[in-house]
Each structure stands twice: as structure tokens, then as C-alpha cells.
Structure 1
């Protein structure tokens, strides 16, 4: 039922154990709302990545070195880490639809700040704000898990995550083309309008849903740390995610520097096209949710982590060959994004009443890995070139694979 075009459904607290409420049919992978949430996740998280293919241009615009330019990515991811710690747990406490739309509007404000930034200092502060509010995507993902039908939760999460992953990868392509035609500031103005529109759409289409916890906010934040202690499977999946995303960030932070130099010497729009290549990998990775639903999570994780290492080997050895870079991009995105989907499919089975806090625990560490990867990547490229970057990314991926080898066969997931 709707009133004035606004969804008039209420999910009662305490119903997270299966589908949220008899008033709201449980979500299945083909439901329209799944696609709406997938697109919303993609639009929200894309804001973290618009600057990546523009780093070479921004370095020239602001007159800074490649190492310093890498801090643009770092500040955005640092803001995301802070938002994960402070905003995402509120999904277990406040009404989720209102939280999602208000935070989305905040992203629009931060994006406008980036568009009008006169120098690198103000631009970095705007990037911090963009990252802080872009965590709305991580409120939507556990929300989808709450709404999903039992037995199809992995597939629903995989579908929503596909939208998120496409947002991550296509952001680079869209950003590069817009910057080449209209300039880099237009990228952030268009993103501002997109977030305003998204806030309106989500307010009208999402069902109301209040978290089931009655904890105070300080106790809510403190309970996140208890999850680390109480859930060994969460800790293991955090290691996979953190190291994998560190490797992922190492690659994407320095790729623009590699491709802007000979023998490639590509423009922003051509560099952005590599996001399309990565999108093919992300679409393949979305199948990982089905492996989880079929009980094949552990072996699939090992294969996907191995692909991350193989990707860096190929790109490091054949760095002057475009085909090798393309193959590496596809393998890296299949490996990293597939592992990420498996990780989330596993952790959302652990505690039905704490999905937002589980998201906080996992994603805070996940993006902290991204902070480490992006912060180190620019400086490694500056002093060690692409070979150094390949060694760094391969090291992060290799550590994740070695840790996977220690997993006991009796461990769930």
C-alpha cells in the first residue's frame, strides 16, 4: 500500500531473524526493490572513486606530487572508515529509511564542497566529508539482508553488491569522460545532483524499518568491539577483506599514474575506461553469492584469493603490454569482489539482531586496509615505479591466501 507515492510499510523491531514483517513480503533476487537498492548502493559508493582516474589531472591542477595526490584517495577512505564506525551502527538503532535519506543528502553537500574547492586543502576536507557520508551504501546492504527471504539471502546480497561494485568501477569511466569534456569540477556537480535525486527516490520507495536494539549510542558503539571477541568467523573474514581491499586499492590508486605515462600516455577518459574492464570482473564476482548459498564458501574463497595474487604477477611482469593489464584488471576484480561478497554473505549469518554493527566491524577494517593500500601506493609508485606497486599489491594478496590456508576444515563458512 502507498500513500502519496510513499511506501507505507513498517518493519517491526525484533523481526530480523527471518523476513522482517508479514506486512512486507520477503525480498527475492528478482524484486524491483532489490534493483533499486543495488542502484542506490552503486550511486552512493561511486562517490569514493570519481577522483581516481583524475589523479594525474588533479596533481597538475593543484601543483602537487604523485605521492601527495594519493592522499586524495586516502582522505576519502579515511572518512569512510570514520563513517563506518559512527554512522553505520545507527542502522540497528534508528529508523533506517530516514537515516539513509538524511545521510545521502549529506553526501550531496560534501560533493558540492569538492566542486567549489579552490585548493588542495579544501578539496581534501571535502573528500573526507564525501567518504564519511558515502557509508549509506553500508546501511543499505545489511538492510537488504534484513528484508531478504531465508535461503535466498546470499543471492539478494550478491545482487545488491553487484550494484555497489558496478558503482565502484563505472565511477572511474564516467568520471574520466565527464572530466575530458566538461572539466573535473563538473564530475562533482553531477554527482551532487545524483545524490539529491537518490535521497528523494529512496524516501519514497524504501519501507520503514527500525533497528531492534535498545542500547544507548555509546553502548551500541562499544558492542561492536564485543563482536570481534565473540565471533571468530567474523575475525577471519575481516582479515580476508582487509588484505584483499588493500591490494585492490594499491592497484587502482596507481593505475592512473602508469597509464598517463609512456608507453600508454592515455587521457582521463581512456584511463576511466578501465573501470568498464573491471566491471566485467565485478559481474562475474556476483556469482559468489550463489556459491555461499550452495555451501561452497571455503574453497571458493581460496580460488578467489589466488586470483588476486596471479593478477599482480601478470601485471608486474608484463607492465608494458596492454593485454596483460586488462587481464590483470579482470582477475583482480573477480578475486577481490568475489571474496568480498562471500565475506558479507558469511558474516550476515552470525547475529541477526546486529547486522549493522557487524557491517561496521567488517567494513571499518576493510576500508582501513584500503587506506593503507592507497596511502602506500602513491609513494611506492613515486620511488619504486609499477614494479614496486605490483610487489606491494601481490604481498597483500599473498598474505590473505596464506591465512586462508590455515583455515580449519571444521570452521563454518
Structure 2
């Protein structure tokens, strides 16, 4: 007589919303610094370029976490892994908070790097949502969790600006650390146990990353689309606070943070894109995202002297990135369901490598050529994104996948 295995648990909407909130907290930790760059530079007595380097640090360290830690989701019990990663990320935020008390840029850098590496807990949760989704609704589940992650990224700037105005920029990190630790405890109670499909060693898992990239052409093309798209938007993220605090607008940390609220509407595109993906419309959604990215940078170019054009441009490029990202994830998660954590690691590592390159290029363009140079850089990377989308479409039509 054959024993029947228990049915796999299906995540209900309240648990998905909790996961979405946790993803937003984790991801937001890497974006707290963006509206605070001017205040950090003044308080720590460092240059704008040195303050801007924390944006790149956060993204590079997050990329390292994606490459070396996210694959653990295919070899360890994922609920426990999420808990450990989130608590360590909270520790990194505590270090950043201490830097405000000590006036130490080195401590801020250490906290930024630590929080960046371990906040990849969000990228363990996203494929987990796909794995435990109801049949035929993985796109909706991923879109819902990703909406929380993206809203967290955008809202983190607003929250950072408000908290900075109330208690100084380091207050942001103290509050973030406490909230992240509490959320980790809540998730430990709510998530089902999620053991890997088969026990594998860490060396085997890491070797398989290259094999997946080699064997899955569509993983390569979609990773390129994601990396180029995030690089395009990171040009904006790395320079917007310096533009808005500068002589043309002279906005405070609070006002710069509130600007981020506008981008939340763009993040809602993630849920729309997830539902479209469930209907098989990933290709159309991807192409629309690439075209909107370019149109958004045209508006942002005008935004150098007009706050209204800046707001329109930021809304459009945020929404465009979500259309690209959710479409990409829906495609890659279907390639090898038994290796979703590893596939996500490959994709998201490329995604954040693109972000770090975009941040560095955006800072260089701003310091060398001002907002016109920044807008030109954003537009150029937008063209590269569109080229990657055309390459992906051509390959699919030729049935190379």
C-alpha cells in the first residue's frame, strides 16, 4: 500500500500580503540613503561623490548576496533561511544608525554593505510565492509579492525623508532595523515549511548556476533585459536627490522623500503585469515597458527645470521597469520549476549588476555634465534595453528557445 504525500500548502492572500510587506522592508533598506545623500554629505563632512557611492555599495552588495546566498533556497529550509537573512539585515541597519552617532563614514559603509548582502531575503520569498501559488495563478502571486517589494523601494524614500526631518537621517536606520526584525518573527509563524526538492551541496548548487545560464537561452536574454532596464532607472535613483536638493528646486529631505510617493503608482504596474503574464501576454508587456522607458526619459530631461515633468517622467520609468521585471520573472520561473531559487539568483544578480553600473554611470554623468548628461545617459541605456527586448522577441519567433 502506497503512502500518499500530504498536499502542498497553498499561500492565501493574507500570507502573500505579509510576504509582500517583508519584501518591501528588505528591499527598502537599500534605498533609504537615496533621498538622504545631501544630509549625509553635510553631517559626515564628505563630498557628494562619496555620499553617492553608498548607492553603488548597496547595489553591489545586494548583487553579491543574490549570487552567493539566494541559491541556498534550493538546498535549505526556506522559512528558516528567510528568518536568518532578515535578522542579519537588521544588524546592518543598526550599524548604519550608529554611524550617525559616531560621524563615521566607514561605519555607514559597513552597515550599508551588510544590509545589502542579507536583505536578499526578499529574493528567497519571491520564488517561494511562485512555488506555493494556486494552480494557474503564479503570475498573480509573484505580482502581488513584487508589488509590495517595489512599493517598499519607492515608499522607503518617502519614509526616509519624513523620519530624517523628524529625527535626523540616522533615525531611518534605527526604525528600519526594528521593523525588519519584527517582520522576520511574524514570517516565521506564517510561512509553511519549504524544504528543497532534493538535498544538494553548496558547491553543486553554485556550479549549476553556470549550467542553467548555458542551457537556457531565454534566461540569458531576459536577464539582459532586466539588467539593462534597472541600469536605466538607477541613473535616475543615483542622481535625483542631488538634482532636487540643488539650486533649481532646493527641496528638503522630507520633500524629496515625498516625491517618491508618486512612483508608488508606477509600482502598481507589477500586479497588472502579473495578471497579464497569466494570460500569456508577457511579450507585449515587455515591449511596452521598453518603449515607455524611453518616453519616460524624454519627460525627465524636461524635468531638469520643471518639477511637473520630473514627476511624470519618474512615474513612467517606474511603471515601465515593473512591466519589464514581472514579465521577465514569469518567463524564467517556468523554465525549470525545480530550480527556481537558482534561476532567480542568476536573473537577479544580473539585474542588480545592471543597477550598480547604472548608479555609477548616473553619478558620473551628473558630476561631469549635470542633468542634461544624466538624461542622455538614461536614454542611451533605455535604447540598449529596447535592443535586448527585440533580441529576445526575435529569438522566440525563430523558435531558438
Aligned to 2:358: 373
Partner-residue secondary structure (3-state), 2:170: helix
Q: Give the match for residue 178 of structure 1.
A: 163
Range with bigger deviation, 248-257 or 59-68: 59-68
Q: CA deviation at 1:293?
A: 1.1
* Residues 66-85 of structure 1: per-residue CA shift (max 9 Å, x gap): 22221101111111011111
Q: Does 1:361 align with 2:343?
A: no
Counterpart check, 1:67 vs 2:49: yes
Distance 2:97 2:9 in 1: 41
Q: Kindly report the root-mean-square deviation, in angstroms, between the aligned alpha carbons of the 2 structures.
A: 1.5
Kept in 2, the 8 Å contact 1:69–1:378? The answer is no
Q: Which segments of 5 or more consecutive residues in structure 1 lack a partner in the other structure?
A: 1-20
Q: Is the 8 A contact 1:70 1:377 kept in 2?
A: no
Partner of 1:306: 291
1:208 aligns to what SS in structure 2? coil
Equivalent residue number for residue 91 of structure 1: 73
What is the aligned partner in structure 1 of residue 10 from structure 2? Answer: 26
1:411 to partner: Cα distance: 5.0
Task: Give how far 1:148 is off.
Answer: 0.7
The 3 A distance-change label for structure 1 pair 93 and 382 is same
| CA gap 1:274/1:294 in 2 versus in 1, 3 angstroms | same
- Aligned residue pairs total 392
Q: Distance in 2 between matches of 1:130 and 1:144?
A: 23
The structural deviation recorded for 1:121 is: 1.7
1:57 pairs, out of 33, 39, 51, with 39
What whole-Å deviation, never above 9, does each CA across 1:215-251 have from its counterpart, x for those lacking one? 2101111111111100011111001100000011110
Provide the secondary structure at the position in 1 that maps to 2:53.
Answer: helix
- The 8 Å contact of residues 285 and 335 in structure 1, kept in 2 or not, is answered as no
Distance in 1, Cα, partners of 2:166 & 2:400: 51
Q: In the alignment, which residue of structure 1 is the partner of 2:121? A: 136
* CA shift for structure 1 position 36: 1.1
- Counterparts of 2:149 and 2:6, CA distance in 1: 28
- Residues 258-407 of structure 1: matches in 2 within 5 Å? 258-406=243-391, 407=393
SS in structure 2 of the partner of residue 273 of structure 1: helix
Partner Cα separation in structure 1 for residue 98 and residue 302 of structure 2: 41
CA distance in 2, matches of 1:300, 1:82: 29
Compared CA separation, residues 366 and 113, structure 1 to 2 (3 A): same
Q: 2:97 aligns with which of 98, 115, 121?
A: 115
TM-score, L = length of structure 1: 0.92
Deviates more, 1:265-274 or 1:65-74: 65-74
2:179 maps to which residue? Answer: 194
The structure richer in helix per residue is: 2
- Superposition deviation, residue 62 in structure 1: 1.8
Normalising by the residue count of structure 2, what TM-score does the alignment of the two structures yield?
Answer: 0.95
Question: Shift of the alpha carbon at 1:376?
Answer: 2.0
1:228 maps to 2:210: no
Q: Structure 1 residues 194, 346: CA separation in 2 closer, same or farther (over 3 Å shift)?
A: same
Q: Secondary structure at the match of 1:319?
A: coil
User: Offset at 1:358?
Assistant: 0.4
**Deviations 1:61-117 (Å, cap 9, x if unpaired)?**
222222222110111111101111111000000001110001111011111111112
